[in-house]
Amino acid sequence: MRVTESPHCWTMAASCNLPTFSNTTIQMLQKCKTMSEFRQVHAQMIKTNLVNHTFTVSKLIAFSSLSSDPCGLDYALSVFRGISSPNFFIYFSLIKGFSGSLCPLESVILYCRMLCDLDVFDGIEISLPSVLKACGRLNRAREGQQVHGQIMKTHFKFDPFVLNALIRMYSELGQLGWAREVFDKMPSRDVVSWNSMILGYLKMGEIDLACELFVAMPERDLVSCNAMIDAYGKCGRCELAQEVFDMMSTKDVISWTSM
């Protein structure tokens, strides 16, 4: 049932209690495929005063910011600007959305505003990789270091999810010394940690340092192996590329193509 085909659902839902009405609205938001449909649901939310229900509005922003429509993020931001007291989930949806958009600066701006507006930051760690990604894409080392400093004052300084994002950001910025410092000080490393550091070295042409880490890596996966095969091939070390290829228990199209 499409949004445009179900106006009677609003009449029925509006006569129910708020949770039921909210759930019906969220279900309709999930069905939206175009910005036109999002606008229809939003208009009905305004008419029924559901626009003042923070949880439902947060869902509107989340769904529209994830929409494949290029206008989705701008629409989500316009809805956000009409909210007097946005919660963390609303901020997170926009910070994440803009971090991968054509305007990553908006992600950093929203993160800074969130720090000023909110007193409680339960779950803030899930927004950190997004703002760090934005800093890397913007080539903003100063802002990235400021976020790093904030992280080190919290218990998130031990969180592999957050620390891996720091390594990726510093690698993106070309600051491999800082990336390696984060890597070396990690209390525990996962495959993502190793891959992030190896890929960072390879991006900057530091093949020997990448090789050193690759050899020390406890568990190698397709990502690291394929990256090393490609790097060895490009610098003419075909015998080393062959060694990595031969040791792989699982190979994909990229493995074969690189060889």
pLDDT of the residue at 57 = 87
Residue 38's Cβ-count burial label (10 Å; 0-12, 13-18, 19+) is buried
pLDDT of the residue at 1 = 40
pLDDT of the residue at 191 = 95
Give CA–CA dist 246/240, Å, rounded: 10
pLDDT of the residue at 49 = 81
What secondary structure, in 3-state letters, does the chain show? CCHHHCHHHHHHHHCCCHHHHHHHHHHHHHHCCCHHHHHHHHHHHHHCCHHHCHHHHHHHHHHHHCCCCCCHHHHHHHHHCCCCCCCHHHHHHHHHHHHCCCCCHHHHHHHHHHHHHCCCCCCHHHCHHHHHHHHHHHCCHHHHHHHHHHHHCCHHHHCHHHHHHHHHHHHHHCCHHHHHHHHHHCCCCCHHHHHHHHHHHHHCCCHHHHHHHHHHCCCCCHHHHHHHHHHHHHCCCHHHHHHHHHHCCCCCHHHHHHC
At 175, which amino acid appears?
Q
Task: Count other Cβ atoms within 10 Å, centred on residue 97.
Answer: 24
pLDDT of the residue at 242 = 94
pLDDT per residue rounded down to tens, the chain (259 residues):
444 445 445 444 444 444 565 778 888 888 888 888 888 888 888 888 887 788 888 888 988 888 888 888 999 999 999 888 888 889 999 999 999 999 999 999 999 999 888 876 666 778 999 999 999 999 999 999 999 998 998 888 899 999 999 999 999 999 999 999 999 999 999 999 999 999 999 999 999 999 999 999 999 999 999 999 999 998 889 999 999 999 999 999 999 988 8
* pLDDT 10s digits, 22-63: 778 888 888 888 888 888 888 888 888 887 788 888 888 988
Phi and psi angles of residue 5, each rounded to the nearest 5 degrees, phi first = -100, 5
pLDDT of the residue at 122 = 63
pLDDT of the residue at 110 = 95
* CA contacts within 13 A on the Cβ side of 38: 25
pLDDT of the residue at 123 = 66
| Sequence-ordered list of residues with C-beta below 8 angstroms from that of 2, at least 6 positions apart, any chain | 31, 37
